[in-house]
Structure 1
Amino acid sequence: MVSLPTRARSSAALVLAGVLWGTGGLAGSLLARRAGLHPLAVADYRLLVGGAVAIAFLKGFPRTAEAAKRILAVGGLFAIFQASYFAAVALSSVSVATMTTIGAAPVIVTLVSVRKIRRWTLVSVTGTLAGLVLLQWSPGEAFSFGGLGFALLAAAGFATLTLVTAKPVEGLEPLSTTAFGCLTGGLLLLPVASWSGMAIPLHTDVLALVCYLGAVPTALAYAAYLRGLADAHPVLGALSAVLEPLTAAVLSAALLGERLGAAAWCGAAVLVAALAVGYWRPEPR
Structure 2
Amino acid sequence: MKEKLFPLFVLLAAMLWGTTGTVQTFAPEESNPVAFGAIRLAIGGLSLLIFVSIKGTLKLSSWTGKEVWIAALCMALYQPLFFSAVYITGVAIGTVVAIGSAPIMAGFGEWIMYRRLPPRKWWLATFFAIAGCSLLFVNEESITVDPIGILMALGAGLTFAIYTIINKPLLAKRSPEEAVAVVFTLGALLISPVLFIFDVSWVMQENGLTTSLFLGVIATGLAYLLFAKGLREITASTAVTLSLAEPLTATILGVFIVGELLTATSWIGVSLLLFSIILLAFSPKKNLVLVQAKANRNHDKA
- Fold shared per TM-score above 0.5: yes
Equivalent residue in structure 2 for 1:78, among 75, 79, 88: 75
Question: What is aligned with 2:233?
Answer: 231
2:55 paired with 1:53: no
> What is the distance in 1 between the residues matched to 2:243 and 2:83?
17
2:93 maps to which residue? Answer: 96
> TM (normalized to structure 1)?
0.91
1:220 maps to which of 219, 222, 225: 222
Q: Tell me the equivalent position of 1:132.
A: 133
Q: Is the 8 A contact 2:94 2:150 kept in 1?
A: yes
- Inter-partner Cα distance in structure 2 for 1:29 and 1:73: 32
Quickly say closer, same or farther: Cα 1:20–1:169, change in 2 above 3 A: closer
RMSD in angstroms over aligned alpha carbons?
1.9
1:87 — aligned with what? Answer: 84
Amino acid at match of 2:120: R
Q: How far, CA to CA, are the matches of 2:242 and 2:129 in structure 1?
A: 10
Show CA shifts across 1:15-47 (max 9, x none): 11010000122223432xx15121111001100
Asked whether the equivalents of residues 98 and 154 of structure 2 are also in contact (C-alpha less than 8 Å), the reply is yes
Distance 1:55 1:47 in 2: 12
Match of 1:112 in 2: 109
**Local SS of the residue matching 1:200:** helix
Equivalence map 1:249-260=2 (5 Å): 249-260=251-262
Residues 41 and 194, structure 1, Cα contact 8 Å, conserved in 2? no
Work out the CA distance in 1 between the residues paired with 2:124 and 2:171. 32
Q: How many residues align?
A: 279
Identify if the C-alpha distance between structure 1 residues 117 and 212 changes in structure 2 by more than 3 Å, giving closer, same or farther: closer
Q: 1:140 aligns to what SS in structure 2?
A: coil
Q: What's the secondary structure of 1:259's corresponding residue?
A: coil
Distance 1:71 1:62, change over 3 A: farther
The residue that corresponds to 1:10 in the other structure is 6
Match of 1:44 in 2: 38
Secondary structure of the 2:4 match is helix
The 8 Å contact of residues 107 and 117 in structure 2, kept in 1 or not, is answered as no
Aligned to 1:28: 24
Specify the alignment match of 2:247 in structure 1: 245
Separation in 1, partners of 2:121, 2:203: 50
The Cα of 1:51 is off from its aligned counterpart by 1.2
The 8 Å contact of residues 38 and 194 in structure 2, kept in 1 or not, is answered as: no
**Taking every aligned residue pair, what percent have the same amino acid on both sides?**
25
Q: Structure 1 residues 6, 163: closer, same or farther in 2, change over 3 A?
A: farther
Q: Quickly say closer, same or farther: Cα 1:116–1:35, change in 2 above 3 A.
A: closer
Match in the other structure for 1:175: 177
The answer to which of 220-229 and 22-31 deviates more is 22-31
Give the drift of 1:191: 1.1
Question: Normalising to structure 2: TM-score of the pair?
Answer: 0.86
Structure 1 alignment gaps of length 5 or more: none
Amino acid at match of 2:36: V
For 1:15, the aligned partner's letter is L
